[in-house]
Amino acid sequence: MEKRKISKYVVIFTITILAFALASCSKNAGSSTVGKGTSSDTVKIAYLPITHSLAVLEEAEELKNSTGLKIELVKYGSWPELLDALNTGQVDGAEVLIELAMKSKQEGIGIKVVALGHKDGNVIVTNKNIKSVADLKGKKFAIPHRQSSHNILLHDALATAGLTTDDLEVVELAPTEMPSALVAGQIDGYCVAEPFGAKAVSLDVGQVLLKSEEIWKDSLCCGLVLTDTFLNNRPDDAKSFVENYKTAGKNLTTQKAKEIAKKYLSADDTVLDLSLQWISYNDLEITEETYNTLLEKVKKYGLSDNPPAFDDFVKNDF
């Protein structure tokens, strides 16, 4: 009798476990068509907390209370981390250094750039002993990544003084470390995404040697990139997302940009007031002419021998 009672409980327990397992499988099957935790009305976008990401941050705010598309923002602390998430399909898209995205495309990753992140918005910052570009000879200069517009801007600036990167020591450094490295004398200058240039200037430990528009007018830096999977599987959402994004950029007045920056970035008023003077978001369309200028520079300065052509990488036809 005792044996029968135990068997009965074993059967009940087994049935309960199977029921939970089936329920769990059913739940997972229902979300698998959307992909990696993103709901059908959500776009998952990776970003770094820099002023160059403000357009997508503004869009996320504008769509927060809408009945349609929403943006799930995923913050990363470095470009390699963000790029890994983009390249492995953990997100639907990202605000990313356009040269990094070009390199991923060249290596077979299914992505396309659909808009700019911003225009201009970079500065070459140096210690106050540097009086001209020529003074950078023999000095140590930091950039965030070899695959970056900051590297290109450095090359362009040096060329005006008849110098190349062989005439100084170029190091890669995390953006957050650059102002303190300048203060400590570990580097003599740097070029990086904002607000890190403005931070050194506002603390009176650095100076602006050149603004990006003085070196390369309407320079391309960050781009809004979407995966081919998202573009192909959700074309209507992709179109809506990009249209809203460009509108959000136009809505970023200096005051609005400052409000968004204070919410998402760790920067004070003095830094933001300075930084936001150097950047614009009102026209985020990528034209073939501006992209081809970037292509020439990427090849000229050895960032890539075979970067993707405009038609293969840029998507404007929404």
Predicted confidence (pLDDT) per residue in 87-134, tens digit = 999 999 999 999 999 999 999 999 999 999 999 999 999 999 999 999
- State pTM to two decimals: 0.84
pLDDT of 142 higher than 80 = yes
pLDDT of 24 higher than 70 = no
pLDDT of 17 higher than 60 = no
Mean pLDDT of the chain: 88
Instruction: Report the pLDDT value the prediction gives residue 39, as an integer from 0 to 100.
Output: 54
Instruction: Report the pLDDT value the prediction gives residue 236, as an integer from 0 to 100.
Output: 96
Task: Report DSSP letters for the chain, one per residue.
Answer: -HHHHHHHHHHHHHHHHHHHHHHHHHHHHHHHTT-TT--TTEEEEEE-SSGGGHHHHHHHHHHTT-SS-EEEEEE-SSHHHHHHHHHTTSSSEEEEEHHHHHHHHHTT--EEEEEES-EE--EEEE-TT--SGGGGTT-EEEES-SSSHHHHHHHHHHHTTT--GGGSEEEE--GGGHHHHHHTTS-SEEEESTTHHHHHHHTTS-EEEEEHHHHSTT---EEEEEEHHHHHH-HHHHHHHHHHHHHHHHH--HHHHHHHHHHHS---HHHHHHHTTSEE-S--PPPHHHHHHHHHHHHHTTS-SSPPPHHHHB----
